[in-house]
Amino acid sequence: MKRHYPDAPVVSVGVLVVHRGRILLAQRGHEPAEGLWTFPGGVVELGETLEEAAAREVSEECGVRVRVGKPLTTVDRIFRDEEGRVEYHYVIVEMLAEFLGGEPKPASDIRQVGWFSADEMADVPMTPGTRAIARQVFNEADALDPRFETGYNGDTKGR
């Protein structure tokens, strides 16, 4: 599947891993949006469910294990070149996930990874839309329970 100047949109996942009042963020190491912080994630592979892709990508990019919940929202990320041609086009399904374990460490395609509270995210340069989605999760912490069949407690009050 061609990502640079694609023939069709590329289906991807972004994963909001919430743990002890913080959300896991990854600093992108490549274009598009190199150097900006966002939710870990990546392209859904052929034959893979959204949940499987989300768990795999977080493990590959950040070295942590998660239990993936239901989708939160969908985001269109379209990057055009100077001539107006579509250089990148991602349809990203943002998934909520429960942290199960592991120590976050960056993979080769990201520069850094870390846990951020709502306050700590204030001055972090992020991809468009990331801050608003994270804020929504922090603001709706009490409403997160139904997104998991596993009893996730939505603990984000420690910020």
Closest listed residue to residue 70, CA positions, set 27, 21, 115, 15? 15
What's the pTM value of the predicted model, to 2 decimals?
0.84
Over residues 116-137, the pLDDT tens digits come to 999 999 999 999 999 999 998 8
Looking at the chain, the whole-number percentage of residues with pLDDT higher than 90 is 74
Task: Delineate the domains of the chain, giving CATH numbers in brackets.
Answer: 10-146 (3.90.79.10)
Reduced to 3 states, what is the DSSP secondary structure of residue 126?
strand
Kindly state the tokens that stand for 78. 């379209």
What's the CA gap between 153 and 159, in Å, rounded?
15
Residue-by-residue DSSP string for 25-81: EEEE-SSSSTT-EE-SEEEPPTT--HHHHHHHHHHHHH--EEEEEEEEEEEEEEEE-
Does 32 sit behind a cis peptide bond, omega within 30 degrees of 0 on the bond before it?
yes
User: In the predicted model, what is the mean pLDDT of the chain?
Assistant: 87
Q: How many CA atoms lie within 13 A of 120 on its CB side?
A: 12
Task: Specify the pairing of strand 10-19 against strand 86-101.
Answer: parallel
pLDDT-derived band at 139, boundaries 50, 70, 90: confident
Q: What is the pLDDT of residue 45?
A: 97
Looking at the chain, the whole-number percentage of residues with pLDDT higher than 70 is 88
Over residues 16-57, the pLDDT tens digits come to 999 988 999 999 999 888 999 999 999 999 999 999 999 999
- CB neighbourhood size of 55 (10 A): 22
pLDDT-derived band at 141, boundaries 50, 70, 90: low
Report which DSSP code applies to 131: H
Contact 88, 8 (CB under 8 A): no
Angle at 131 between CA 29 and CA 40, to 5 degrees: 40
Over residues 69-83, the pLDDT tens digits come to 989 999 999 999 999
